[in-house]
Amino acid sequence: MPYLPLRVLVLEDHLFQRSVAVSLLRQLGCHEVLEASNGAEALAILAATGPVDVALCDLQMEGMDGVEFIQRAGGSGQLGAIIIGSGLPCDVRRAVGQMGQSLGLRMLGEVGKPLQAEALGPLLTACLNPLPVELSPLASTGVASEASVRRGLLDQQLEGWYQPKFDLRTGEALGAEVLVRWNHPIKGVLSPAVFLPTVERCGLLDELLFTLMHQALTLQWQARSQGVSLNVAFNLHASQLSNPQLTSQVKQILAQYQTPGCSVTFELTESGLLEVPAVCLENLVRLRMMGCQLSIDDFGAGFSSLQRLCQLPFNEIKLDAEFVRGLAHEPRCSAVISSTLALGHTLGMAVVVEGIETAEQQQALVELGCTQGQGYWHARPMPGADLLRWLQRNDGALGQMGGSQ
């Protein structure tokens, strides 16, 4: 019998189905299996016996249902992860999964009824795998102070990390998104969750952007000397568009490195574009007039109108990774991707799909007609020196390196 060092709590009000779930989890090798008939009973078990690694949670139950249980337990620290086991439609299960994520819970996925070992086993195994380091907010570190962030900027400790974008058909690297990490001299490499809230609160976004531009354009020049032409993409917060000096400062930096605007992209998240004052629109127009590319990031994750997409001078759409994650089991995700590709084609905009993590997702996207993508299947974010070595080592055959970084 396999062995999984997991403590699992089953929430299911139907006695027979609960017995089936408990038996199946034991067959799969789970170390300890607890059971509850509703959310209130589950909370009492957690209070009495301590946290569990996984909760296998039904949604419709008498008394406290699964939705309320997830809300109540979300901030307790008693749940390592949740698997939704329900006979409700998959779109309802998926919505509950998103709710759990917004509460800070690790949602491993959802399974229908009757439970199947083939579906449940891989989710339990995934629970044993730690989250990637770059996605962990290093909560023990807390949010950095203004003084420490200013010192980090002054000492050039905030560094660009680079995640390539690819032609999904040929594997060619088309460019790289510039992310940011704090290379702290004592605490090591810190996630943006540690310092970006402070950067935003203290009005340091422009200073950070210009620091990253100097680093990335130096790297771009080095890549060009290796015979690689690489577009670099910077994340731009919507609030920065209210700075009337933004475009003139960008223009000065581009001139300093003799870099044409067409080799630079600025990515703005959809959620920040609900209202765009005149000065912001002017900055967008001026960036395009300089030849810079404009990308609307996390498309589909917010609620901005399609009218805004038509009004603003973007020429690239980056489709939110959530649609790729649901591609294998949610037909609506496939429909959204296909529709976005058609929309991009009609508007003359490139479409980049984010969050590609498996060969199956890559193949499915190619079959849907996707041509550009980004994700861990191709490459994880890496420091600039590593990117240069990686480009040189792979020498154009980049698509064959899926998942190697």
- Answer yes or no: are the C-beta atoms of 175 and 265 closer than 8 Å: yes
pLDDT at residue number 76:
75
pLDDT interval class at 311 (50, 70, 90): confident
Q: Which residue has the tokens 């300093």?
A: 256
To 10 degrees, the CA torsion angle through 26, 31, 32, 38?
-60
pLDDT at residue number 405:
35
β-sheet bridge partners, residue 33 = 8
- Nearby residues of 235 by Cβ (< 8 Å), 6 or more positions away: 177, 178, 179, 266, 267, 268, 269, 297
pLDDT at residue number 138:
40
User: Does 35 participate in catalysis according to the annotation?
Assistant: no
- Taking residues 293-318, what's their average pLDDT? 79
pLDDT above 80 for 114: yes
231-270, pLDDT tens digit by residue? 999 999 988 998 999 999 999 999 999 999 999 999 987 6
336-377, pLDDT tens digit by residue? 999 999 999 998 999 999 999 999 999 999 999 999 999 998
What CATH number is given for 133-401 in this structure?
Answer: 3.20.20.450
Ranges in the chain annotated CATH 3.20.20.450: 133-401
pLDDT interval class at 391 (50, 70, 90): confident
Taking the CA atoms of the chain, what radius of gyration do you get in angstroms? 23
pLDDT at residue number 378:
86
Ranges in the chain annotated CATH 3.40.50.2300: 4-127
To 10 degrees, the CA torsion angle through 255, 261, 264, 265?
130
Catalytic residue among 354, 357, 360, 367: 354
CA gap 341, 338 in Å, rounded: 5
Question: If you classify domain 4-127 with CATH, what class do you get?
Answer: alpha beta
